[in-house]
Amino acid sequence: MNQISNKTVVITGASRGIGEAAARHFANTGAHVVLAARSEARIHAIAKEINEGGGTATAIRCDVSQPADIEVLINTAIEKTGSIDVLINNAGVIDPIARLADSDPEAWSQIVDVNFKGVYHGLRYAIPEMLRGGGGTIINISSGAATSALEGWSHYCATKAAVLALTRVAHKEYGDQGVRVVGLSPGTVATDMQVTIKASGINPVSQLDLDAHIPPEWVAKALMWLCGPEADPHLGTDFSIKTDQGRAAVGLVATA
């Protein structure tokens, strides 16, 4: 995937899981990765490891729920590298899991701030810079929850459905101007989020063993594939790697 070499890739939620795996994978392919997360010490440690390993990485503390933080993130990435070529809106949370009548309104609202408004903030501040730079790719991490009803996940299902709507609208508004917007629905991934889900004991996903989930490195490979022209038919939609067909396109092993 040499189309990503020497490009700037900004990744939110990069302190662990999918975000960390993506940062390492893109850096190994020659991109300048910008790691963004609230866990400042952790992203600086990952960036240091990448740089010491011959890659190029920058760490910037960012709370995606705060528009000013995202504006600073995008502007700083451009100041340090000269461009923003890829934005991966990965930051997301699911805790606390609770049925609607048991949910805490403040906690529910905080999920909206991160999972939904955080993606909006990324789109809002990255798109103008990509237009000025002649284009770019924005990938929003989605979920099967965007189109499914899962007990205890009202906040997660609602916010992922909203993110899918943002992906569709952004593509409609800017797809013909060189800004590629696509969602990725990876299925269940072996991250800390699955530990939280399993501990809740609510809905069938919590009953899965941790070894039933795909590794975050598979997701990183799919993210790379979405940056290339082969993914163009999926722009404005959620591309899934839960199927054999989707995994084969990316070059992953089949589910069977």
Mean pLDDT is lowest, of 72-76, 131-135, 138-142, 211-215, for 211-215
pLDDT value of position 214: 73
pLDDT value of position 255: 47
Q: How far apart are CA 215 and CA 190, in angstroms?
A: 5
The pLDDT tens digits of the residues spanning 68-120 come to 999 999 999 999 999 999 999 999 988 898 999 999 999 999 999 999 999 99
Is the separation of the CB atoms in 8 and 31 below 8 Å? yes
Q: How far apart are CA 57 and CA 207, in angstroms?
A: 37
Query: Is 156 labeled as catalytic in the residue annotation?
Result: yes
**Domain spans, the chain:** 2-249
Is the separation of the CB atoms in 16 and 191 below 8 Å? yes
Residue of 254 and 75 predicted with greater confidence: 75
pLDDT of 216 higher than 60 = yes
The pLDDT tens digits of the residues spanning 136-192 come to 999 999 988 899 888 888 999 999 999 999 999 999 999 999 999 999 998 767 566
Q: Given pLDDT bands bounded at 50, 70 and 90, which one contains residue 212?
A: low
C-alpha pair distances (Å), 159 with each of 48, 177, 251: 33, 27, 29
Fold of 2-249: Rossmann fold (3.40.50)
Out of 120, 125, 156, 174, the active site residue is 156
- pTM of the prediction? 0.92
The pLDDT tens digits of the residues spanning 18-77 come to 999 999 999 999 999 999 999 999 999 999 999 999 999 999 999 999 999 999 999 999
Q: How far apart are CA 122 and CA 36, in angstroms?
A: 12
